[in-house]
């Protein structure tokens, strides 16, 4: 079983809808949680970063962490065709060797005009 699970999708939504993405994990030692966006054949770019539990909002993006359920979410409001990409969750322990990140497999999102 993988440490971090993520539905591969594809998740198809109409333009303007809310995109809801999530990851589950098994290692309770994870304390830092990140979401990356990756366009086809490009490197990932960091979207959101959250420490421990709670919510964080940045423009159209909201990240939520529920450590009791070992579940994290990313919501994209007013989705645009330019949001079509693969979204990767990542997480790490406080004193991970080399600050190592553990990634989910990614969810492919398609926003249709």
Partner 1 sequence: DGGITQSPKYLFRKEGQNVTLSCEQNLNHDAMYWYRQDPGQGLRLIYYSQIVNDFQKGDIAEGYSVSREKKESFPLTVTSAQKNPTAFYLCASSDRNRGAETQYFGPGTRLLVL
Q: Which stretch binds partner 1 (CB under 8 A): 3-11, 14-22, 57-65, 68-76?
A: 3-11
Contact criterion met (CB below 8 Å) for 97 and 80 = no
15 vs 27, beta carbon nearer partner 1? 27
Q: How far is the CB of 104 from partner 1 (least distance, A)?
A: 5
Is residue 34 involved in binding partner 1 (CB under 8 A)? Answer: yes
Is there a contact between 30 and 5 (Cβ–Cβ < 8 Å)?
Answer: no
Task: Note whether 37 binds partner 1 by CB under 8 A.
Answer: no
Q: How far is the CB of 18 from partner 1 (least distance, A)?
A: 24
| 7-10 long-range contacts, CB within 8 A, separation 24+ | 7/107, 8/105, 8/106, 8/107, 8/108, 9/107, 9/108, 9/109, 10/107, 10/108, 10/109, 10/110
Q: Work out whether 43 is an interface residue with partner 1 (CB under 8 A).
A: yes
- Residues 4-23 touching partner 1, rule: CB under 8 A, are 4, 6, 8
């Amino acid at each position: 079983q993988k440490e971090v699970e993520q539905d591969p999708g594809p998740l198809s939504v109409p333009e303007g809808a809310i995109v809801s993405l999530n990851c589950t994990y098994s290692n309770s030692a994870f304390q830092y949680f990140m979401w990356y966006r990756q366009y086809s054949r490009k490197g990932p770019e960091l979207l959101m970063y959250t420490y421990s539990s709670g919510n964080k909002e940045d423009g159209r993006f909201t990240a939520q962490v529920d450590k009791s359920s070992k579940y994290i979410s990313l919501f994209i409001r007013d989705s645009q065709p330019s949001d079509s990409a693969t979204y990767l969750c990542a997480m790490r322990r406080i004193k991970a060797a080399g600050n190592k990140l553990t990634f989910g497999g990614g969810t492919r999102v398609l926003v249709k005009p």
